[in-house]
């Protein structure tokens, strides 16, 4: 009696894809039989098969002995390449044995899939604030990192490693333009590129006669439009540097002063501010605290002594907007023009006596 022997080569059986059905026939030979696998039983002796894969060795129908040696199944999802090492034993009718060690790798890393469609991200105008993003998904839940691979964003915009595109489009003196750029996303294993673009409309490109810019796009719209606002002037609007939101909390019976800054894109001499809404009791608004815009900046202040109050806390909500006033010498006589920025809303909380003081009972 001769011992059985292996026909399938030991070692690496290759790399298979996760979540895809897989089947592989293992072969051995009993020297006393005329064909491979006849009279042999295959069993998993040691090690571990990849999750979802099994060695078929039970419940066989007589006459189909090769089914004993099938590695088959659907590999489970894995987030990285996983190599499994295992030992399979073949036993013949006389209980003679032969063992062989194999390894099988399940490919884990999945390539990211873009969620944002290729092409134009947005239509914007010079001077406009932008807060948008491009994104992709990854089934392995890997952290995705984004970068500009080629091309460029409009001046004034930047993209973070999370895919967020933010900033304020710089004033453009040339004609309206398309800015094309390629974003690369990677999960640390695979990288994918996708081309995007911004269309930047220069306000000065529009004329009162055609109400179109260099692209031939109609840009007459109002503030409720999903597009942008525009007047017949080529000047970008001034803007507040502090975003909307809470500006903090102050205790009652205290002096309060807060400085707010505005910027302008233009070489205009002055910038001042307007206020609306509910200022904290006892405070005053100075909209022309610093109006010299030679550095393209100006400031306003809210200041005053907040009186004593027994309330627990009071929230005050008010808005500020910047403005430029200048003489347009294209008219004769010169025409006074005012450029208004957007209203930005701020909230200040005043903590009263019942929220800040201890009273003995």
pLDDT by residue for the chain (361 residues), tens digit each? 789 999 999 999 998 888 888 888 899 999 988 888 888 889 999 999 998 888 876 433 344 455 668 888 888 877 778 899 999 999 988 999 999 999 999 887 778 999 999 999 988 888 888 999 999 998 777 889 999 999 999 999 999 999 999 998 888 777 778 999 999 999 888 899 999 999 888 766 554 444 555 666 554 433 344 444 444 445 677 889 998 999 999 999 999 999 999 998 777 778 999 999 999 999 999 999 999 888 889 999 999 999 998 888 899 999 999 998 877 776 677 777 788 888 999 999 999 887 655 556 6
Domain ranges for the chain: 5-107, 113-205, 239-356
- Distance (Å, rounded) from C-alpha 266 to C-alpha 151? 27
- Pick left, alpha or beta for residue 208 (phi over 0 → left; psi -120 to 50 → alpha; otherwise beta): alpha
Encoded tokens for 204: 């000065």
Query: Number of C-alpha atoms within 13 angstroms, CB side, residue 262?
Result: 33
Q: Hey, CA dihedral for 161, 165, 167, 169, is it positive or negative?
A: positive
pLDDT of residue 146: 97
Taking residue 86's Cβ as centre, other Cβ atoms within 10 Å add up to 20
Contact, 227 vs 132, CB < 8 A? Answer: no
pLDDT of residue 356: 58
Contact partners, residue 166, CB within 8 Å, separation at least 6: 130, 131, 132, 157, 158, 160
Taking residue 304's Cβ as centre, other Cβ atoms within 10 Å add up to 16
| Coil/strand/helix, residue 70 | strand
**At the top level of CATH, which class does the domain 239-356 belong to?**
mainly beta
Encoded tokens for 268: 């205009």
Encoded tokens for 49: 């098969």
Contact, 205 vs 176, CB < 8 A? Answer: yes
Got the DSSP string for 264-297? Answer: -SS--SB-EEEEEE-PPTTEEEEEEEE-B-TTSE
pLDDT of residue 206: 52
Distances (CA, A) of 296 to 43, 170, 228, 270: 80, 13, 23, 8
| Coil/strand/helix, residue 357 | coil
Residues of the chain by 3-state class (helix, strand, coil), percent to 5:
5, 50, 45
| Block residue for tokens 């409009």 | 154
Going by C-alpha positions, the residue among 91, 104, 94 that lies closest to residue 6 is 91
Distances (CA, A) of 91 to 7, 14, 87, 178, 268: 14, 25, 13, 72, 93
**Strand (E) or helix (H) holding 356:** helix 353-356
pLDDT of residue 358: 57
- CATH entry, 5-107, from 3.40.50.300, 3.40.50.11260, 2.60.40.10, 3.20.20.150: 2.60.40.10
Contact, 28 vs 90, CB < 8 A? Answer: yes
Answer yes or no: same fold for 5-107 and 113-205. Answer: yes
- Distance (Å, rounded) from C-alpha 129 to C-alpha 236? 11
CATH architecture of the domain with range 113-205: Sandwich (2.60)
- Distance (Å, rounded) from C-alpha 260 to C-alpha 319? 11
Burial 66-82 (b: 16+ CB within 10 A, else e): bbbbbbebebeebbeeb
């Amino acid at each position: 009696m001769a011992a059985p022997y292996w026909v399938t080569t030991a070692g690496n059986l290759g790399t298979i894809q996760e979540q895809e059905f897989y089947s592989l026939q293992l072969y051995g030979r009993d020297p006393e039989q005329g064909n491979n696998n006849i009279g042999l039983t295959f069993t998993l002796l040691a090690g571990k098969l990849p999750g979802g894969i099994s060695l078929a060795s039970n419940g066989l129908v007589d006459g189909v002995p090769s089914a004993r040696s099938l590695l088959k199944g659907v590999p489970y999802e894995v987030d990285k390449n996983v190599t499994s090492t295992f030992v399979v034993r073949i036993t013949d009718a006389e209980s003679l044995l032969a063992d062989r060690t194999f390894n099988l790798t399940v490919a884990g890393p999945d390539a990211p899939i873009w969620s944002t469609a290729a092409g134009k991200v947005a239509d914007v105008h010079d001077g406009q604030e932008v807060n948008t993003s491009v994104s992709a998904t990854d089934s392995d839940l890997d952290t995705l990192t984004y970068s500009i691979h080629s091309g460029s964003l409009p001046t004034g915009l930047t993209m973070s490693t999370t895919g967020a595109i933010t900033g304020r489009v710089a004033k453009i003196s040339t004609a309206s333009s398309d800015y094309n750029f390629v974003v690369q996303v990677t999960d640390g294993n695979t990288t994918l590129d996708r081309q995007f673009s911004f269309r930047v409309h220069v306000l000065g490109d529009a004329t009162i006669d055609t109400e179109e810019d260099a692209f031939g796009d109609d840009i007459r719209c109002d503030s409720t439009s999903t597009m942008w606002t525009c007047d017949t002037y080529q000047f970008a609007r001034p803007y507040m540097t502090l975003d909307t939101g809470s500006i903090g909390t102050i205790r009652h019976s205290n002096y309060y002063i807060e400085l707010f800054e505005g910027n302008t894109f233009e070489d205009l001499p002055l910038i001042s501010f307007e206020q609306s809404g509910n200022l904290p009791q006892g405070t005053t608004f100075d909209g022309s605290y610093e109006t010299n815009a030679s550095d393209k900046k100006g400031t306003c202040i809210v200041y005053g002594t907040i009186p004593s109050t027994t309330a627990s806390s009071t929230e005050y909500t008010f808005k500020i907007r910047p403005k430029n006033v200048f003489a347009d010498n294209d008219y004769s006589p010169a025409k006074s023009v005012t450029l208004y920025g957007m209203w930005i809303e701020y909230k200040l909380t005043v903590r009263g006596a019942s929220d800040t003081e201890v009273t003995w009972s």
